[in-house]
Amino acid sequence: MAGSWRAKVQAGGMLLALLGWVSSCVTTVVPLWKSLSLELNELEVWTLGLWQVCVTHEEGAIECRAHGSFLALPPDLRVSRLLMCLSNGLGLLGALLATAGLEGWRSCQDRPVLKRRLLLTGAAAFGVAAVATLAPVSWVAYNTVLDFWDNTVPDIVPRWEFGEATFLGWFAGAFLTAGGLLLACSARSTRAATPPATARHQPPPTPQGAARGHHLHPKNADLVI
């Protein structure tokens, strides 16, 4: 009964973690970290991502251009690009390790301690991937809020707002965190309890007479002629 419960918790944890990892990968790629609508031309919407900037026209056409140089990016986007790539790699590593440590997986069935360590290591990788996703997304969102409410910038200057990737990144970090916690909580030693050693029944002591011959009793010594 307990084994079935652990298997369900591990399956749910893996599902959440994989969903978070896929969402994190999508967040890394899509150019939707920031959006900008020009008041002079509301038919164009600009979107900014870690790798490129795009503009959507009225007729639905999308034009994208890659960032010219990594060093030319703002500090938050440079760090975000590195951290998101790290998060994607850790998520993949965590998925491989945690899968090998699942209770229903056939690998290492005869080594329960190793399976538990693999599961815990995979859960830890998911946790670090969650931090590596939440940190850059929150940093970019924080800078966006500061720039939007900056009183030193004239009101006629267009300002960036949150893009869809910001919210997707927050959901990805939450899913990775929840999945890693479920996997860590379900990981416990599956080592079978060793049954207590059965009491060894020693054979009854062999009568000395049978082993060494019968000795005469002192009372009967007088009967011997």
Domains and CATH numbers, the chain: 17-32+72-190 (1.20.140.150)
Specify the pLDDT at position 119: 92
What integer pLDDT is reported at residue 222 of this predicted model? 46
Alpha carbon distance 56, 59 (integer Å):
8
Q: What is the pTM of this model?
A: 0.78
Instruction: Name residue 45's beta-bridge partners.
Output: 37, 56
The SS3 call for residue 55 is: strand
User: What pLDDT does 44 receive?
Assistant: 81
- The torsion angle over the Cα atoms of residues 160, 70, 81 and 142, rounded to 10 degrees, is -30
Q: What is residue 50's DSSP assignment?
A: S
Task: Profile the chain (225 residues) by mean pLDDT over runs of 10 residues.
Answer: 76 95 97 83 82 85 88 91 97 94 74 87 96 96 90 77 94 97 79 41 50 46 41
